[in-house]
Amino acid sequence: MAVYNWKDGARQKLSAQVVGDELERLRQTNNGELTAELALDAARPKSSPLHDGFEWDDTVAAEQHRLTQARSMIRSVVIVPDKSMGPAVPTEVRAFVVVEREDHRAYVGTFDALSDPESREQIVQRAMRELRQWRERYRQIEELARIFEAIDNQQAA
């Protein structure tokens, strides 16, 4: 039997073990495949171990969905820099990034955030955390060993 945990930063109220076991059961009963639709359908009965992991009040769920869409929209906007910004600027840059403030999180302009030492440090730390998570997710792929070595060398620096 597999042992399940939530990944760092996951905001889930159910037991990762219960969810993992149920999702694996669903996968096995669906020819080895798992889809979001299958999980949602299985969660509909109140007796389902997945049920309490979803918002069933349609008004609240609709608002949460629109907030998710708004976040996706904000994260999807990029700036196409002109040549006056210099050759070191990539062809596209995310227009907004999330930074932590005293009591909340907010999107700010990427160039503004990178110009502020505290915000820049948050962005670098987040990038390194995501890089480590990516490395962990794909650690079993031998073709990426040289990339993993470079990541390890960067972390040691």
The reply to whether 1 falls in a domain is no
Task: Give me the half-sphere count of Cα atoms (radius 13 Å) on the Cβ side of residue 135.
Answer: 17
- Confidence bin at 132 (pLDDT 50/70/90): confident
Q: If you write DSSP's letter for every residue of 83-112 in order, what string do you get?
A: GGG-TTS-S-EESEEEEE-SS-EEEEEHHH
| Cα distance between residue 151 and residue 157, in whole Å | 10
Task: Tell me: do 46 and 71 sit in the same domain.
Answer: no
| Cα distance between residue 77 and residue 93, in whole Å | 9
Whether the predicted pLDDT of 84 surpasses 90 = no
Task: Provide mean pLDDT across the span 80-95.
Answer: 75
Task: Tell me: do 74 and 28 sit in the same domain.
Answer: no
Task: Tell me: do 123 and 92 sit in the same domain.
Answer: yes
Helix ranges (DSSP H) in 11-143? 16-28, 36-43, 58-76, 110-115, 117-137
The reply to whether 141 falls in a domain is yes
Task: Tell me: do 84 and 152 sit in the same domain.
Answer: yes
Higher pLDDT, 9 or 89: 9
Residue type, 89: V
The reply to whether 138 falls in a domain is yes
Whether the predicted pLDDT of 87 surpasses 80 = no
Task: Tell me: do 86 and 144 sit in the same domain.
Answer: yes
Q: What DSSP state is assigned to residue 7?
A: P
Q: How many domains does the chain have?
A: 2
> Residue 64's pLDDT is what?
95
Task: Tell me: do 45 and 78 sit in the same domain.
Answer: no
Would you say the pTM of this structure is higher than 0.95? no
Task: Tell me: do 76 and 27 sit in the same domain.
Answer: no
Task: Tell me: do 24 and 63 sit in the same domain.
Answer: no
For residue 27, the enclosing domain spans 16-53
Task: Tell me: do 100 and 151 sit in the same domain.
Answer: yes
The reply to whether 9 falls in a domain is no
- Count Cβ atoms within 10 A of the Cβ of residue 142 and give its class: 0-12 exposed, 13-18 middle, 19 or more buried: exposed
- Confidence bin at 86 (pLDDT 50/70/90): low
- Of all helices (H) and strands (E), which one includes residue 155? helix 145-156
Share of the chain above pLDDT 90, in %: 68
The reply to whether 26 falls in a domain is yes
The reply to whether 8 falls in a domain is no
What lies within 8 Å, CB to CB, of 61 at 6+ separation is 54, 55
Cα–Cα distances (Å) from 2 to 15, 40, 52, 141, in that order, read 14, 22, 22, 21
Whether the predicted pLDDT of 90 surpasses 70 = no
Task: Tell me: do 78 and 20 sit in the same domain.
Answer: no
